[in-house]
């Protein structure tokens, strides 16, 4: 029986992949660089990665991916378009699609299964991340977490970023919203009861000059988007970095 990805789709892997194209920055960072032959323009880690670029995650140049002759492409159900995945599969390329995780344990379990299935390995960083993120802190802060402006988009229910913050004692003010990424009006955001506004530097680059002024009643907390939303080796350093950022002055 063929192995299946997180969405239950078969992924033919007759041997451990040695030519991998990653369409997801956090997965690019997680994979052994020795097998990577292509990545997106937004794959910034590892910092010294020197492979051909295939465009963005949402709109990769599929012809470039095919030209690299991958024996596996890594994609994500939220970051990549189904039509691009379908085209790659139609051209005979195995594609492993990870599901957008709602929790830290779900993300790590997904990665564990990918590595065990494709390469029969258990990366040391994965074991360490599982250990570091096992403890949970009781609620101590309430936050609004915008990830985009023009229009405003915030972290809502069942998101990896929301669970990361929850484990650090931060209650997401929009955790009970019907949508995973609500688009509230700015007037609504100003009326939300919260203590802090968590401002990541990706996907929108919030800065001290573009962020705090929109939430004058809340303490701004600037964090690395990689620490907040990437579920790979970044999780090893993310916990301590986020704890420092969230610490009150």
Token output for 118: 């494709």
Residue 49 lies in a domain: yes
pLDDT band, residue 111 (cuts 50/70/90) = very high
pLDDT band, residue 1 (cuts 50/70/90) = confident
Contact by Cβ (8 Å): 73, 23 = yes
| Residues 61, 249: Cα–Cα separation, whole Å | 46
Average pLDDT along the chain: 96
Residue 248 has pLDDT above 80, yes or no: no
Amino acid 2: pLDDT: 87
Q: Report the pLDDT averaged over residues 179-204.
A: 97
Q: Can you spell out the DSSP letters for the chain?
A: ---B-TTS-B---SS--SSEEESSHHHHHHS-GGGEEEE-TT---STT----B-B-SSSB-HHHHHHT--SEEEEETTTS-HHHHHHHHHTT--EEEEP--SSHHHHHHHHHHHHHHHT----HHHHHHHHHTS--PPP-EEEE-EEETTTTEE--SS-HHHHHHHHTTEEETTTTSSSSS----HHHHHHS--SEEEEESSSS--BTTBSGGG-TTSEEEEE-HHHHH--STHHHHHHHHHHHHHS--
| Domains of the chain: total | 2
pLDDT band, residue 249 (cuts 50/70/90) = very low
Of 152, 166, 147, 153, the C-alpha closest to 223 is 147
Examine the domain organization and report whether 137 and 39 are in the same domain.
Answer: no
Structural domain including 195 reads: 132-246
Examine the domain organization and report whether 164 and 92 are in the same domain.
Answer: no
**Residue 195: which CATH number?**
3.40.50.1980
Residue 74 lies in a domain: yes
Query: Sign of torsion, CA 217 191 220 41?
Result: negative
Q: Report the pLDDT averaged over residues 198-209.
A: 97
| Residues 101, 119: Cα–Cα separation, whole Å | 22
Of 58, 78, 82, 105, the C-alpha closest to 9 is 82
Residue 120 lies in a domain: no
Share of the chain above pLDDT 70, in %: 99
Residue 150 has pLDDT above 50, yes or no: yes
pLDDT in tens, 19-70: 999 999 999 999 999 999 999 999 999 999 999 999 999 999 999 999 999 9
Boundary (domain end) residue, out of 100, 119, 147:
100
Residue 114 lies in a domain: no
Share of the chain above pLDDT 90, in %: 98
Token output for 64: 């470039």
Specify the pTM: 0.94
């Amino acid at each position: 029986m063929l192995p299946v990805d997180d969405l239950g789709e078969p992924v033919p892997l007759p041997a451990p992949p040695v030519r991998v194209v990653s369409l997801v920055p956090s997965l690019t960072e997680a994979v052994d660089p020795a097998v990577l032959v292509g990545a997106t323009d937004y794959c910034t880690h590892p910092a010294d990665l020197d492979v051909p670029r295939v465009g963005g995650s949402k709109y990769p140049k599929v012809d470039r991916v095919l030209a690299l002759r991958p024996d596996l492409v890594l994609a994500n159900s939220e970051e990549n378009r189904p039509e691009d995945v379908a085209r790659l599969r139609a051209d005979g390329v195995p594609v492993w699609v990870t599901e957008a995780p709602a929790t830290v344990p779900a993300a790590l379990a997904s990665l564990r299964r990918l590595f065990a299935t494709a390469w029969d390995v258990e990366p040391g960083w994965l074991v360490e991340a599982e250990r570091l993120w096992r403890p949970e802190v009781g609620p101590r802060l309430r936050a609004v977490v915008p990830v985009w402006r023009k229009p405003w988009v915030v972290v809502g229910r069942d998101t990896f970023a929301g669970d990361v913050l929850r484990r650090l004692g931060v209650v997401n003010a929009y955790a009970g919203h019907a949508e995973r990424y609500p688009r509230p009006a700015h007037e609504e955001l100003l009326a939300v009861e919260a203590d802090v506004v968590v401002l990541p530097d990706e996907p929108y680059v919030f800065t001290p000059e573009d962020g705090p002024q929109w939430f004058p009643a809340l303490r701004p907390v600037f964090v690395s988007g990689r620490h907040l939303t990437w579920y790979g080796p970044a999780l090893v350093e993310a916990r301590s970095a986020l704890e420092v950022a969230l610490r009150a002055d």
